[in-house]
Amino acid sequence: MPIGCNHRVDSFGKVAPCYDAVLDLVTFGTYARFLKRAVKILAPRKGERILDLCSGTGRAASWVAYAVGKDGEVVGMDICERMVEVAKARYGKIGNVTFLEKNVTQPWDEQSHFDGILTSFALHELPETGRLGVLGQSYHSLHPHSFFPCSFKS
């Protein structure tokens, strides 16, 4: 983990059980609408494999899991152990979704594996020096002609 990031991961871990409710509250409901819009833009189809990058509590991953159906696959990656625990507790019984504790700024094994990538409220939290590498790894983890809608401010 990059130096200086431990406090962020610890902070997310402390709020993990109520993260979605807090964001819904402080954003007056726009957080959930943003996530739903991001899933709609990604437009996951039955049978696809989708990565939820920095998946947090797994809220969006669960919606994508239903969209890709039983023949599809959703992988959620997040650096925060507590967020992954919450995601597994809430959505782990959905048969086609897996949550992994992973520092996405480190190399991944997945190459040409995914049909699409979803990320939200995440890239800006990554160390600035690691963002380009994460985008590069994301690109290489996609099948040709796949989709990665992405928006963030620096």
User: Tens digits of per-residue pLDDT, 48-60?
Assistant: 999 999 898 999 9
Q: Residue 3: its pLDDT value, please?
A: 41
Q: Print burial letters for 14-32: b (CB count within 10 Å at least 16), e (below 16).
A: ebbbebbeebbeeeeeebe
* 8 Å CB contact between 76 and 107: no
Nearest to 80 by CA among 59, 99, 60, 61: 99
Query: What is the DSSP secondary structure assignment for residue 29, as one 8-state letter?
Result: T
Structural domains in the chain (count): 1
User: Rg of the chain over CA atoms, in angstroms?
Assistant: 14
Kindly report, residue by residue over 67-102, the tens digit of the pLDDT.
999 999 999 999 889 999 999 999 999 999 999 999
* Any domain includes 154: no
Backbone angles phi, psi at 123, to 5 degrees: -60, -35
Quote the domain boundaries for residue 82.
6-147
- Residue 51 counted as domain residue: yes
CATH label of the domain that carries residue 42: 3.40.50.150
Name, in order, each residue with C-beta under 8 angstroms of 85's C-beta and a sequence gap of 6 or more: 16
For residue 21, pLDDT beyond 90: no
In this structure, is residue 152 part of a structural domain? no
Q: Are 16 and 80 in contact (CB under 8 A)?
A: yes
pLDDT of residue 13: 63
125: in domain: yes
Q: Would you say residue 153 lies in a domain?
A: no
Tell me whether residue 74 is in a domain. Answer: yes
Assess if residue 128 is contained within a domain: yes
Q: Is the pLDDT of residue 111 over 90?
A: no
Confidence of residue 154 (pLDDT cuts 50, 70, 90): very low
Record the pTM: 0.83
Which residues in 1-154 belong to E strands, given as ranges? 49-53, 73-78, 97-101, 114-119, 142-147
On whether residue 11 sits in a domain, the answer given is: yes
